[in-house]
Amino acid sequence: MKYILVTGGVISGVGKGVIASSFGTILKCCNIHVTSIKIDPYINIDAGTFSPYEHGEVYVLDDGGEVDLDLGNYERFLDVTLHRDNNITTGKIYQHVINKERRGDYLGKTVQVVPHITDAIQEWVERVANQPVSQDGLKPQVCIIELGGTIGDIEGMPFVEAFRQFQFRVKKENFCCAHVSLVPQPRSTGEPKTKPTQSSVRELRGLGLSPDLIVCRSENPIGQSVKEKISNFCHVAPDQVICIHDLSSIYRVPLLMESQGIVEFFNDRLQLNIPMPPPRRFMHKWKDLAERVDTLRKEVTIALVGKYTKLEDSYASVTKALQHAAVYAGYKLKIKYIEAATLEEETKLTEPVQYHEAWQQLCKSDGVIVPGGFGKRGMEGKIKACEWCRKTSKPFLGICLGLQAAVIEFGRNILQLQDANTTENVPDTPHPIVIDMPEHNPDQKGGTMRLGKRFTVFTQSNSILKSLYGKQDRIEERHRHRYEVNPKYVPDLEAAGLKFVGHDEDKVRMEIIELEGHPYYVAVQYHPEYLSRPLSPSPPFLGLILASCGRLSSYLARGCRLSPKSLSDHDSGEEDINQKEISLVERQAKLLNEYAELFDGQLDEDEPIIQFQEKLNLCDGSVGSSEVL
């Protein structure tokens, strides 16, 4: 097993998560199996009890682990399935050690930070690093470990000491330390300042870890002279200084790294035996994705109505899922963050300007999403947004609490249950349309919700979401909720037109709603954003984007296929290409991908497909027959 430790200096939030994910992406493109571990030095057992304002969103894994949002970056970049133990916290380590002490495992010895806590950290890392995370079930070859916070934080000291020992435990050729540091460029002088990086590296080396690689983060590109200066003062060779400036999208970070020789460095430093040079189409999927993101022209505007909108990281996975869907459909995404409370009548009286501006943003949007959340604040604003979307036929997607808000709104205004509410906010409401789940609502808050991957069964064949999911009878998605729709009200709601098209396997819990006669009024109890990937967008999000662009009907009519010519290139919703032509382009693309390696050095990436077909001698300018394909 090879280990890459990623540490950070100068400031937090410097981009360690994206850097660590990019390392993994590059290695995975070299056919290396990669896993990741995120270390958070806080004493909480997990991220489940955090307010999003404290630490960004809470990310949920298949096994129900509530973890740091950086694990979402790892899963999206690497397309792997991580486990709750891939997120290490100080609380978990101390709990583990204290439980061993209570059992008498230490045979009466005095339990101390060194060696007992540091040993527990090392043993945890070694155990988790060997757990398969990819679909093929193979053991990983490289484990990338991100140490949260900055070097010098008192909370992170036991972990730094643990890895000081760990580098000798696994031997030098199996351990590499990459230090991510900020190189500021003050406007007063305009020149990059390397002193913060020098100080950070000096402190790291003083703690016993000498970085093998220094990743310099900056606003603008850094010149060769600055790299050489960092090399001289930080005890590394110039080619061990990687400079990552602000880019047009995060998908360009792995490409910029690769251009600076990171593959050759890891191959030599960790003895990975990667064939050199890399193949001709190395990382071509990421190149295509980055190029596509940068060349999109037409925009789609989505209003996100939430209660944590002051910190965009609160909805990191939601915004990523929206972006994945928009890029797939051929549109540039523009998100308008709307504080739910500003849509309420009370705000109209106290802050009229803020109220009208919020409603103006909502009305000008192409589609609306109401994400999950907890608590009373902003709930009435979310209900107002649901009502507006229902009445105006505006494309709408509700997630978790968004579904509950949509059901409450429908009960109040269509079933005339004026006092309908959720027992979370009004325990004694006369019409509890949303109720708590007793088995998931004990006195303890941490890790007691309905969490993790669970099945949802479609109950109707004409469901929009069922079509978007490929007409599967049941799907698996990740959940995180403590309240659910009251089954007692379901018959009346369905009779009025709000269809519950998805249930859990026991047909007790309502999972999906769709509104009859509406172009796209969909809400789900689960969190589809957690399984969205850059090259495989989540179906509910894709449906919202397509409906917001006026393309959903044609997409469904094609059997859930996009037109070969980007949807964003058309001004009308008319059918512009028949199914035969769609099939032709798909088969040509398949040929190109499968056989390009056979003509290494003879076929350029931009070469027209027709020339490629002539080289294969499969056809005379027309598409090859199905037998040939």
pLDDT digits (tens, 9 = 90+) for 570-628: 333 333 333 444 444 455 555 555 555 444 444 444 445 445 444 444 444 444 434 43
Two tokens, residue 27: 């290695």
For residue 302, pLDDT over 80 is answered with yes
Q: What is the DSSP letter of 533?
A: B
Which residue's structure tokens are 């696994």?
Answer: 170
For residue 176, pLDDT over 60 is answered with yes
Q: Cα separations (Å) of 53 from 309, 314, 315? A: 9, 7, 11
- What are residue 419's phi and psi, to 5 degrees? -100, 20
**% of the chain surpassing 70 pLDDT:** 88
List CB contacts of 91: < 8 A, sequence separation 6 or more.
Answer: 42, 43, 44, 45, 46
pLDDT digits (tens, 9 = 90+) for 209-255: 999 999 999 999 988 889 999 998 988 999 899 999 999 889 999 99
Q: What number of other Cβ atoms are within 10 A of residue 256's Cβ?
A: 17
- For the chain, what is the mean pLDDT? 86
- Say what the pLDDT of residue 186 is: 87
Secondary structure E strands in 28-89: 34-40, 59-60, 66-67, 87-89
User: Where in the sequence numbering do the catalytic residues fall?
Assistant: 400, 527, 529
| Residue 629 three-state SS | coil
pLDDT confidence tier of residue 279, bands split at 50, 70 and 90: confident
- Say what the pLDDT of residue 563 is: 62
- Say what the pLDDT of residue 592 is: 55
CB distance 564 to 582 below 8 Å: yes
For residue 43, pLDDT over 80 is answered with yes
CATH architecture of the domain with residue range 2-273: 3-Layer(aba) Sandwich (3.40)
- Say what the pLDDT of residue 603 is: 47
Q: Cα separations (Å) of 416 from 389, 410, 427, 516, 580? A: 18, 9, 20, 18, 50
pLDDT digits (tens, 9 = 90+) for 306-317: 998 888 888 999
List CB contacts of 347: < 8 A, sequence separation 6 or more.
Answer: 341, 354, 355, 358, 381
Tell me the β-bridge partners of 513: 500, 523
- Scanning 343-414, the segments in alpha helix (DSSP H) are 345-350, 352-364, 379-392, 401-413
- Tell me what the mean pLDDT of segment 369-377 comes to: 90
Alpha-carbon gap, residue 421 to 380, rounded angstroms: 10
Alpha-carbon gap, residue 537 to 203, rounded angstroms: 42
pLDDT digits (tens, 9 = 90+) for 462-508: 899 999 998 899 999 999 998 999 999 999 999 999 999 999 888 78
- Say what the pLDDT of residue 52 is: 83
Domain 2-273 shares a fold with domain 296-568: yes
List CB contacts of 322: < 8 A, sequence separation 6 or more.
Answer: 302, 333, 335, 369, 541, 544, 545
For residue 184, pLDDT over 50 is answered with yes
Alpha-carbon gap, residue 564 to 499, rounded angstroms: 33
Query: Quick one: residue 380, left, alpha or beta (phi over 0 = left, psi -120 to 50 = alpha)?
Result: alpha
Q: What number of other Cβ atoms are within 10 A of residue 523's Cβ?
A: 28
Q: Cα separations (Å) of 550 from 109, 470, 579? A: 69, 20, 20
Which residue's structure tokens are 């990740």?
Answer: 478
pLDDT digits (tens, 9 = 90+) for 526-559: 999 999 999 899 999 999 999 999 999 989 988 8
* CATH superfamily label, 296-568: Class I glutamine amidotransferase (GATase) domain (3.40.50.880)
pLDDT confidence tier of residue 117, bands split at 50, 70 and 90: very high
List CB contacts of 257: < 8 A, sequence separation 6 or more.
Answer: 22, 23, 26, 242, 244
Domain segments of the chain as ranges: 2-273, 296-568, 579-616
Two tokens, residue 583: 């099939």
- What are residue 17's phi and psi, to 5 degrees? -60, -45
- Tell me what the mean pLDDT of segment 414-422 comes to: 91
Two tokens, residue 452: 């993790």
- Say what the pLDDT of residue 560 is: 80
- Scanning 416-481, the segments in alpha helix (DSSP H) are 464-468
pLDDT digits (tens, 9 = 90+) for 427-467: 999 999 999 887 766 667 777 788 999 999 999 888 999 99
Q: What is the DSSP letter of 117?
A: I
| Cα–Cα nearest to 528, from 514, 516, 515, 511 | 511
pLDDT digits (tens, 9 = 90+) for 194-218: 999 999 999 999 999 999 999 999 9
Alpha-carbon gap, residue 401 to 421, rounded angstroms: 12
For residue 424, pLDDT over 80 is answered with yes
Q: Which helix (H) or strand (E) holds 5?
A: strand 2-8
- Say what the pLDDT of residue 606 is: 47
- Tell me what the mean pLDDT of segment 18-23 comes to: 94
- Tell me what the mean pLDDT of segment 361-366 comes to: 94
Distant-in-sequence contacts of 277-282, Cβ < 8 A, 24+ apart: 278/29, 278/30, 279/597, 279/600, 280/596, 280/597, 280/600, 280/601, 281/596, 281/597, 281/605, 282/29, 282/30, 282/258
The angle at the Cα of 15, spanning 14 to 19, to the nearest 5 degrees, equals 140
Q: What is the DSSP letter of 553?
A: H
- Say what the pLDDT of residue 200 is: 93
pLDDT confidence tier of residue 332, bands split at 50, 70 and 90: very high
| Cα–Cα nearest to 76, from 587, 609, 532 | 532
- Tell me what the mean pLDDT of segment 115-121 comes to: 95
List CB contacts of 616: < 8 A, sequence separation 6 or more.
Answer: 591, 595
